[in-house]
Structures are given as C-alpha cells and as structure tokens.
Structure 1
Amino acid sequence: MKKTHGPALLATFATALSLALAACSSGTGAAKAAGGGAANSDGSPKTLRIGYQLIPNGDLVVKDQRWLEKALPKTRITWSRFDSGGDVNTAMIAGSIDIGLAGSSPVTKGLSAPLNIGYKVPWIFDVIGENEALVARRATGIAELRGKKIATPFSSTSHYSLLAALQDAGLKETDVKIVDLEPPDIQAAWSRGDIDAAYVWTPVLSELEKTGKVLVTSKDLAAKGKVTADLAVVRTAFADRYPKALSVWLQQEDRAIKLIRSDRTTAAAAVGRQLNVSPDDASKQIDQLVLLDGRQQAGPQYLGTASRPGALAQNLYSAAQFLKAQNKIPTVPDLDVFQRGLAGKELGDAFLR
C-alpha cells in the first residue's frame, strides 16, 4: 500500500515576446495563448486551461475520469501536455495556461527574480521518490562519470537533483558534460548511444533501467536534505477571479488521492491508460511517490494555512540558496516571497472549513 505521508519537504528569458512564442510551440503541447474570457452566469470560468505531465499521480486520475468536466459543466476544460516544468513556466508567463504541474526547482525559479511569475502553489501533486533517478551505462558510482555526457531536462527537479548528486560525489558541474534534453529525447539519445547517463523520471526512467544501472535516486537525495516535489501552480489572477473553480479543482485532486488509497485497481487502470502502460506497471510507478491528501497538505510540514505558511516555503528558500550557489538564479529572494507563494488560504477554504 502506498505510503501516504513522508518527511517534510526541503526543498532569463530574453523577452516576453520570445517566451510567448516558445510557449506556443514548445514540447508536446503548450496551450494556445487564447482562453479565459468572461465568466459564465454562475460565476464559473468559461475556460480552464490545464498543463499536465505524464507523472503517475492523482492528476492523471482526474484527467482520465473527467471529474473536472463533470464538476464544472459550464466550463470548457482543456488539457495540454508538457514534458518539463521549465516549459510550464514558459507557458505561465505567456498566459497560455491557468493551472499547471511543475517541479519544486522550476517553481523556485518561477517565484524568484528575474522571472517573478504571477502564480502561487495551491497543491502538492507528489513528493518525488524513486521515480526520478540517475542512470548510467558503464559506471558503478557517480565519481566514474567524470568527463561523461549526462542528459537531463534543464530547469527541472531532475536537473536540480543531478547537480546535488554531483556535488555530493565531489564532482563539479564542469567535470561532466550536461546536455539539455526532454524525456522523450533522452530515451532516443540513450538508444542511439549518444549519452553515457541521464537523470530523468518515469516512464522514461523505467526504459533506461532495462540497460543501465541506477546510481542514485531522488529518494536517496531526500535523505540528505535535497527533497523535491511536483507542485501545482495557478495563475494568481485566475485564483483571485475564480476561487470557487479553484476549490473544485482542489477537491477533485483530493478525491483522486483517496481513490488511489481505497481502490488501487481502478486508480491504477486510470493512470495506466494515461501512461499507456499496464495497470500493474502503473501501480508500481504510483508506489514510487509519496501522495498527500488535502488535510495533510494543510499541515505545518507542507503548505500550511493562510495564517501559518508551511515548511514548503522554507524548502523552496533552501532550494533557491542551492540554485544561487550553482549560478542558476542571480539572487536568493527573502523567505516571505516563498511564504506568499503558497496558497494556504485557498487550500484551507477547500478542506478546513
């Protein structure tokens, strides 16, 4: 049975125009910039644009079961697939989506200068565990990767974890050659023999494990203080204008976690359909994550409440310090920037009333 609680979470684009163009063409599906518009007569949005990723958490259950479409019958729900949190950040800046999934590292960047994306975190999709890992072809330890070519999606949680793993092994970033590839491209490059190692997540990770060796997982790094998570981000303007719709969205995500706990067969089948894998494989992938329900997330270890922001703010602040040390962001924002970035009020309205 899936563990339902885990340790507390620790953890420049050139112009606005170039970002907007990138958002409309990146990956496998940035949503079109058009959308939103006036509200329906009942106050619900006419359109809700969601950016999702192929990660075996509750979001895929919500999508597969069409719960949002049923709960918001007057709202047109669009689902656009992304390959990484960096692409989600780009789409958020372009105004292409209203809610998206991004890892804690890209969210840290999104809340920091120079991006300062106008969004906040209302939900934790999952705490990352063994579903993200560093896999190598002909190495038994990380130190053996010196001079090797390692692929990972830049600005992702995997990128953050790779840098942490190298640092822990006594290697500098310049001791290896890190290349920026999205997960599908990593799988293709691995098949061609173009790369020596990769830090990536399932389902691509599962394919690489067939011919490679796992050197370290994100669960291993979490035990050393470098915890990562998949977070929801919602445009602040959308959250302010449509609080009821956001509450409905939160309740459906919570419903998915409860289904995973109570009826794994149905939940695994739903996730399997979205990932195009068997229910058994989907269930195994689900087990590699830590999933939290709404009440758990409103606790002090995680998102917290409006009056008392949770430990996630400190975790993102710690991640910002690490990213600054790696020259990935120019400055570290004050802690209150990350505290304001947590949507504790919205989470409390959905589950604690």
Structure 2
Amino acid sequence: MTHLVDRRRLLLGALGLAAAPALAACTGDPDPAPAGPGGAPKQLRIGYQLIPNGDLIVKDLGWLEAALPGTTVVWSKFDSGGDVNTAILAGSLDIGLAGSSPVARGLAAPLNIPYAVPWIFDVIGDNESLVVKPNISDLAGLAGKKIATPFSSTSHYSLLAALAGAGVPESSVKIIDLEPPEIQAAWQRGDIDGAYVWTPVLAELRKTGKVLTTSRELAGKGKLTADLAVVRTAFLQQYPQTLTTWIRQQDRAVKLVRSDKTAAAQAISRQLNLDADEAGAQLSELVLLDAAEQAGADYLGTPAAPGKLAENLHDAAEFLTAQGKLPAAPGLDAYRKGLAVQALADARTA
C-alpha cells in the first residue's frame, strides 16, 4: 500500500514532539481566521486522516470549498489522533479526526482539551482487528507472544479489552508500541506474532495471518470504538454556521455511499491511491451513520437527551484508568458536555 495510516494514537508524554511535522503544515496563530463575508471564517483548517469514510469523499469532491466560497479550506494530513489533540491544544487546527480513545483522554485531566464532538465519522467495525500468525488458535495462545499496536489508540484499547474479556493477563503478553507502517515491516520480518491494527495495514496482514477478533465483535460486547470529529470550542462558538455547513457535507457523503457506492468508492480510491474495488471493500468494513441516525439515543443524541456516545467515552476513560493509562476518569457529565449536539441539531434543520 502506498499510504499507511496511524490515526488514533494519543501521546503519553512530550506532547508537542510527535506532532511537529503535522503542525508545520498548519498556521500557528491560535485564531488566524477572522470572519469574512457572511460571518464565515476566512480560513478553515481541517486535520484529515487516510481513513475510507465520508471525510475523504468531502475532500475529494470539493464539496466544502463549494459550500464555503468565501473561505479558504486548508486540508492537512495527520497520522494520529494524538497529533490532532496536540494541534488543537496549540490552536493550529479547527476541525480534526481522532478515535474515541484519544477523545476520551482529551476530554479528561490533565489535557482538558477545549473541543467538542459534533459528528461521528464512523463506528469502527471489521476494519480494525487482531491478526496473528496462523499457528495461534485463540486469545489464550497470545501468552508469551509479541503483539504490536499503536499505544493509547483505539486498537490498543480494543486489544486490552479483548485480553480482559478472555481472561488473559495483559502482563503475560509482550505488547509492543509500533506505528502501522512499522507493524507491517515487523510482520514481514517475522519480528512479531500478531498485531491489533487498522486498514490499510490490516489488509496486508490478513493476507498471511489469521483474524482472532475484530472491533465489530468487541462493539457487540459493549466495547464500541469510533472515529470522531472534534472541533475547537472557540471555533464552534464563533462560527456555528460554518460548522453547520461542514456537518451537512459530511451527511451528504454518507448518503452518497448509500445511493451510489461506486462513486463513493472512486472518490476514496483517489485519496488512498487504491483501486476502486479495494477502496469499496475497505469502506464496507466501517459503519457510517447519517445525521438522523447520529441524533439517535445510541450515538450523539439531541440537546434534550445526549446519546450513549457520552457513556461509551466515559466507559473508555474508566477502562484506561484501570489500565493505568489515565490518572482518573472524569464524571459522565464531562462527556455529555463534550458532545456538540446542538450543532448536529442545527445542521438537521438548516
């Protein structure tokens, strides 16, 4: 694969270091986007990742640029949710993508990132899985094995959840912190026995390995993970109409997937440098939700009744706390306040 993705990692220390390449592509001024005509910002800075969901469709087809003619849209590629968190803390990004595990940490102390979740890009399904060498038959067989995953990512969260669910002590497995490109290289060299990772690297590992469990299976057991949009609180407050427009384009992309999957796959294939069939296959492994579904009780919900996404984030924080990855999980109310449900409601009625 030409493009290899690490989209969900949250930095555990030295917060600014890993984000330096991504920040170099962004403007450093905390608020470099004064209002232009009609109250829209002169510049909208978006952090995207190479994930086969609606965001790549919006980017490829130029819908946002057409919907915001007075705004310069700057698309900067990020490799991880941790880098997105860092960029928003620095005021160098307006809207970005981060997995539910990094967002659960971002809304907790000590980070307390001033952002909110206005959209669910996708619920992670079969596109994120645990793949092992063919001689390993079950999760119990991981004891003493080297398993790689990007630490503090949704994959890391899912790996620990899978081990806990199977009664396999985390300490009995040699869990190694590697980025997806490094995972692929280590797998090819025979340095690791397995990995919990996402596409497109996952697709390469599946060619010679065996899938033990998937994030879709774990979601069915209450360990849901997702790719979420995060928007700077200051941007949301200053430019609510722009965010409404952004949400509507994302909703449009989900509806294109349902009405014309061929066109959607072609857009994604151009962004990922894949053939359309492979892009379509990767797209099918995600669960995409339109605006009406996201307003349901299981997801973002409404201003009157925030949805279960807040509970999922809180559960993730408690799990990370139990694993020693987070000092303490904030109360459920912190995650309810972290859902920009009014923005979603405005987009549905605009």
Q: Is residue 54 from structure 1 mapped to residue 63 from structure 2 by the alignment? A: no
Greater displacement, 314-323 / 79-88 = 79-88
Alignment-mate amino acid for residue 174 of structure 1: S
Offset of residue 176 of structure 1: 1.4
- Compute the TM-score of the two structures, normalised by the length of structure 1: 0.91
1:341 aligns with 338
Offset of residue 87 of structure 1: 2.0
State the SS of the aligned residue for 2:301: coil
Offset of residue 20 of structure 1: 3.8
1:198 aligns with 195
State the SS of the aligned residue for 1:79: strand
* Structure 1 residues 200 and 129: CA distance shift in structure 2, 3 A: same
Offset of residue 153 of structure 1: 1.3
State the SS of the aligned residue for 1:25: helix
Unaligned ranges ≥5, structure 2? 1-10
**Cα shift readout 1:9-64 (whole Å, capped 9, x = no counterpart):** xxx865xxx5345422369x863434633221321111111111111110110011
**CA–CA distance in structure 2, aligned partners of residues 262 and 77 of structure 1:** 27
1:155 aligns with 152
1:286 aligns with 283
**CA–CA distance in structure 1, aligned partners of residues 142 and 25 of structure 2:** 34
Is contact 1:69-1:77 (8 Å) kept? yes
State the SS of the aligned residue for 1:289: coil
Unaligned ranges ≥5, structure 1? 1-11
**CA–CA distance in structure 2, aligned partners of residues 50 and 221 of structure 1:** 30
**Cα shift readout 1:185-214 (whole Å, capped 9, x = no counterpart):** 211221222222111111110011011111
* Structure 1 residues 33 and 193: CA distance shift in structure 2, 3 A: farther
Tell me the matched-pair count: 338
Matches within 5 A, 1:256-267: 256-267=253-264
1:70 aligns with 66
Is contact 1:85-1:155 (8 Å) kept? no
Cα RMSD after superposing both structures: 1.7
**CA–CA distance in structure 1, aligned partners of residues 217 and 93 of structure 2:** 33
2:163 aligns with 166
* Structure 1 residues 242 and 26: CA distance shift in structure 2, 3 A: closer
* Structure 1 residues 26 and 159: CA distance shift in structure 2, 3 A: farther
- Compute the TM-score of the two structures, normalised by the length of structure 2: 0.92
Is contact 2:22-2:76 (8 Å) kept? no
Is contact 1:30-1:82 (8 Å) kept? no
State the SS of the aligned residue for 2:136: coil
Is contact 2:22-2:77 (8 Å) kept? no
Alignment-mate amino acid for residue 198 of structure 1: A
1:183 aligns with 180
**CA–CA distance in structure 2, aligned partners of residues 192 and 13 of structure 1:** 28
* Structure 1 residues 30 and 175: CA distance shift in structure 2, 3 A: farther
2:28 aligns with 33
Offset of residue 129 of structure 1: 0.7
Q: Which stretches of structure 1, 4 residues or more, deviate above 6 A after TM superposition?
A: none
Offset of residue 168 of structure 1: 1.5
Is contact 2:33-2:44 (8 Å) kept? no
* Structure 1 residues 31 and 171: CA distance shift in structure 2, 3 A: farther
